[in-house]
Amino acid sequence: MPTTTLSGHEVHVDDEGFMTEYDEWTEELGAELAKQIGIDMTEAHWALIRFLREDYLVKGETATTRRVQAAGGVPVKQQFALFPKKPAKKMAYIAGLPKPAGCV
Amino acid sequence: MRKLVILGSGTAGTIAANKLRRLLPRDEWDIAIVEQQGTHYYQPAFLFIPFGKYRAEKSKKPASKYIPAGVTRVSASVEKVDPEAKTVSLSEGTTLEYDYLVIATGTTPRPDQTPGMEDDWHGTVHSFYTYDDAVALRDKLADFEGGRLVIHITEMPIKCPVAPLEFAFLVDDYLTKRGLRDKTDITFVTPLPGAFTKPVAAASLGGMLEKRGIVLESDFMVESIDNNKHAVVSYDEREVPFDLLVTIPLNMGADFVGESGLGDELNFVTVDKQTLVHDTYDTIFAIGDAANIPTSKAGAVAHYEMDLFPENFVKHIAGKEMTEKFDGHATCFIESGAGKGMLIDFNYETQPLTGSFPFAFMGPLPLLKESRFNHMGKVGFEWAYWNLLLKGRPIPMSPHLSMSGKVVPSDD
């Protein structure tokens, strides 16, 4: 598994750069990941990232945009406004979680 | 007497009833099956009905004909399950008690869940995932004279995830034969990043769209259907205009699953992906499309599950460990038009690959490649479905994925 250096920390990532170790993530690293993909983080962004982190602990998988709307209370439209174009993928990237499972 | 209740008499529920009635002693177990609809449909036919290639009425048979003697049939719809009291409330106010419950109520297309989708249903907006929708689309296509045809997937997961692509290939062939292909723009709109979910298949299938001049509009999350502009509108404000929209609406499990606290946001029952037992209640199982397992919602999956689940169930009720582990195996024939078809074979861990598939009687079939033999395999399957599969008789296909004949891509 490849590693990369983020803000001076060595972390494990997959081949698309998604962090693979839940416990290696910190908000500092989240901020760095957000910067990489051009997201200017506000409190509204962080609230979603925290929801995703907590939900992952309970469910064992990354929440979909539908689940973020249903269980996290943030409408899909707003998720698109905060994380343009690909909200599910971008939120997972910043939260240090696996990309939401490609459905089959 | 102990009581087993099966909810739903589709593919998975019917096979389960047949196999479990044989395995569970009649003097110890009552089995009841709740039939929510009296008709059993051969659903693979819905793909062919719109092109007039299959007589619609032929896809319907009475569901009761496939339920074995010794299983009590109850015609009703399910209102709610109380997993603590172990009861099922039914539409006419009756209640069934159970020791074990098997949920097999499938998935349902829900055009009501996308704003505007129902407003011009069977007008300019069509689908083919139910009997009525397939028949309405047949009549619409018969009158079609060209224009902008858009094929659209609302959100994953959907039943038979390859069917929208098959529809694209078949409609291309159909319009070509009618001399209308030059007058028609076809666009394939999907929430996925490509034509299919997994990389090897997505590349093959994407190439097949391109070869046919079908435009792929990917990463498209639909927000609404605009019936004034006749356009599909995404959350990121893209618009794809249409003269005829063939959509696959949001798929959801049964409402009672959500209302009974047994499912996820889409009302699919949350179960262990290897044993299909509910993640909270060890007296409840979900089989077929009703379960939230990460594999295709398809008849082949239901069939493979039913090669393992009945034996597991017998162990479970005896207090033993369930040793049969389902691997998510799915095998799908993909119609590609002009009398040819493709085949894909995959599971939780292994994506669809190229190569060949070991198949009894016909010999190896080519994977991810167009061939007349794959089309014949698909057509020939209908007899086996009604006469062997539903009745729980053996079909020589392994429930576990085999790597024999598959070409594994290198890492680079």
Chain A contact present for B198, CB below 8 A: yes
User: Where exactly does CATH 3.50.50.60 map onto chain B?
Assistant: 2-107+253-317, 110-250
Q: Are A104 and B294 a contacting pair at CB < 8 A?
A: yes
Calculate how close chain B gets to A81, using CA atoms only, in Å. Answer: 8
**Chain A residues touching residue B197 (CB < 8 angstroms):** 102-104
CA gap A23, A20 in Å, rounded: 9
Q: Is A40 among the catalytic positions?
A: no
Residue type, B270: T
Phi then psi dihedrals of residue B184, to 5 deg: -125, 130
Nearest residue to B200 (alpha-carbon basis) of B408, B400, B347? B408
Q: Report yes or no: B268 and B291 within 8 Å, Cβ to Cβ.
A: yes
| ipTM of the prediction greater than 0.90, yes or no | no
Q: Which two tokens stand for residue B10?
A: 């589709």
- Closest among B153, B123, B150 to B137, alpha carbons compared: B123
pLDDT tens column, B188-237: 999 998 998 777 888 888 999 999 999 999 999 999 999 999 999 999 99
Partners of A65 on chain B (C-beta within 8 Å) are 221
Flag the least confident range among B145-149, B256-260, B357-361.
B357-361
Tell me the pLDDT tens digit for each residue of B353-412.
877 777 655 567 777 777 777 777 777 788 889 988 899 887 777 778 777 777 777 654
Residue B240 and residue B246 in contact, taking contact as beta carbons nearer than 8 Å: no
Residue ranges of the domains in chain A? 3-95
Structure tokens at A91: 């939120």
B223 and A102 in contact by Cβ < 8 A? no
From residue B65, give the alpha-carbon distance in Å to each of B9, B18, B382.
11, 12, 16
Select from B323, B346, B353 the least CA-distant residue to B401: B346
Does the CA dihedral B282-B37-B54-B177 come out positive or negative?
negative
Beta strands in B235-305 (DSSP E): 239-241, 244-248, 251-252, 284-286
Whether the predicted pLDDT of A103 surpasses 70: no
Tell whether B279 is within 8 A of chain A (Cβ).
no
Q: What is the pTM of this model?
A: 0.92
**Dihedral class, residue A73 (left if φ above 0, else alpha if ψ from -120 to 50, else beta):** left
Pairwise CB contact (< 8 Å): B192 & A102: yes
Structure tokens at B207: 């190439």
Q: Which of B159, B237, B265 to mutate to test the interface with A (most CBs of A within 10 A)?
A: B265
Instruction: Please judge whether A101 and B235 are an interchain contact, meaning their C-beta atoms are less than 8 angstroms apart.
Output: no
Domain B110-250 in CATH 3.40.50.11890: no
The string of pLDDT tens digits covering residues B396-409 is: 777 787 777 777 77
Q: Which of residues 40-69 of A touch B (CB under 8 A)?
A: 64-67
B2-107+253-317 topology per CATH: FAD/NAD(P)-binding domain (3.50.50)
Contact A70 B265 (CB under 8 A): yes
Asked if the peptide bond before residue B115 counts as cis, ω within 30 degrees of 0, the response is no
Contact call for A104 and B265, based on CB within 8 A = no
Confidence at residue B360, expressed as pLDDT on a 0 to 100 scale: 59
CA–CA gap between residue B232 and residue B238 (Å, rounded): 8
Q: CB of B273 within 8 Å of any CB in chain A?
A: no
